[in-house]
Amino acid sequence: MNKSLAQKYPLNREFFNRSSVKVAKDLIGCLVIRYYKGRTLSGVIVETEAYAGETDPASHAYRGQTSRNAVMFGPPGFAYVYFIYGVHYCLNFVTGPPGEASAVLIRALEPLEGIEAMKTLRANSNLANLTSGPGKLCQALGISRHLNGADLFGPELNVFGYLNPRAGEVAAGPRIGIRNGNELLWRYCLTNSPFLSVKPKKKGSQKQD
DNA sequence: GTAGGGATACACT
DNA sequence: GTGTATCCCTACT
């Protein structure tokens, strides 16, 4: 990643008030900032997945609104955090207008600030292993259920524009680890980032468009 | 490859 | 109210 081109700039709620696919693509290279116990922890988004809502069989919202997924049906620009497999949290950003339960799953970050604190939270000192997966990055940023519904423009969590990757640096591929809907190329990642949750295979066997 | 783990939704009493 | 299948993962062998 060429950090000399990096520049932090604010996003607004309208950025999230679009289709999850567009937001997922545009979030690649953006900066997630977590204010945690007086520290600033931040990382650059290198991998996302889009979820469409009630029409998407892979989405929590597929069967309609419940108390669990209510945040997804709310206004855009809020965090939807859920607990999965009894072990892990996953961080999503709500997109689209209220009533449209679309969201973007943040799958991987490149750690930028607060790396020592992240290592402590993760009990792991391997940089490439700190935030290279949705459950890992939540642990590294101290994200848990209490941030479900948190404002992305609020006191605990912020999102900024940062890098502007060129078109060729962002790859699309099938979503990961889900039962249904994996024929859609709604996973976006920054190519050649060492912080992806799924490492690209050699010999170009990874499907891309 | 697979064990582990807790919340959730839904089908049953 | 209770039982059970499911879940977008990680860490271990």
Q: Which pTM does this prediction carry?
A: 0.90
State residue A11 phi and psi, 5-degree precision: -100, 170
Given a cut of 80, whether residue A198 has pLDDT beyond it is no
The model's confidence at residue A10, banded by pLDDT at 50, 70 and 90, is very high
Percent with pLDDT over 90 in chain A = 70
Q: Is the CB of A66 under 7 A from strand B?
A: yes
Whether pLDDT at A101 is above 80: yes
**CA A172 vs CA A132, A142, A144, A168, A200: distances in Å:** 17, 28, 28, 10, 12
Q: Is the CB of A135 under 7 A from strand C?
A: yes
- Higher pLDDT: A201 or A117? It is A117
pLDDT (0 to 100) of residue A64: 85
Q: Is residue A168 predicted with pLDDT exceeding 70?
A: yes
Quick one: which residue's CA is nearest to B8's C1'?
A68
Of the candidates A159, A39, A140, the residue with the CA atom closest to the CA atom of residue A92: A159
Q: Does A166 have pLDDT greater than 70?
A: yes
Residue A199: band (very low, low, confident or very high) from pLDDT cuts 50, 70, 90: low
**Quick one: average pLDDT of A181-192?**
86
pLDDT tens digits, one per residue of A67-84: 889 999 999 999 999 999
- Quote the Cα angle for A193-A32-A78, to 5°: 130
- Record the tokens describing residue A12, joined without a space: 């607004």
Q: For residue range A127-145, what is the model confidence (pLDDT) as tens digits?
A: 999 999 999 999 999 999 9
**Which residues are CB-contacts of A92 (< 8 A; sequence separation ≥ 6)?**
A51, A72, A79, A80, A81, A82, A103, A104, A105, A106
> Using one digit for the tens of pLDDT, what is the confidence trace for A16-65?
999 999 999 999 999 999 999 999 999 999 999 999 988 888 888 888 88
pLDDT of residue A205: 36
Residue A88 beta carbon within 7 A of nucleic strand C: yes
The predicted pLDDT at position A2 comes to 61
Query: What's chain A's average pLDDT?
Result: 88
| Distance CA A85 to C1' C2 in A | 21
Terminal C-alpha separation, chain A: 21
Task: Give, in Å, how far the C1' of B11 lies from the CA of A181.
Answer: 25
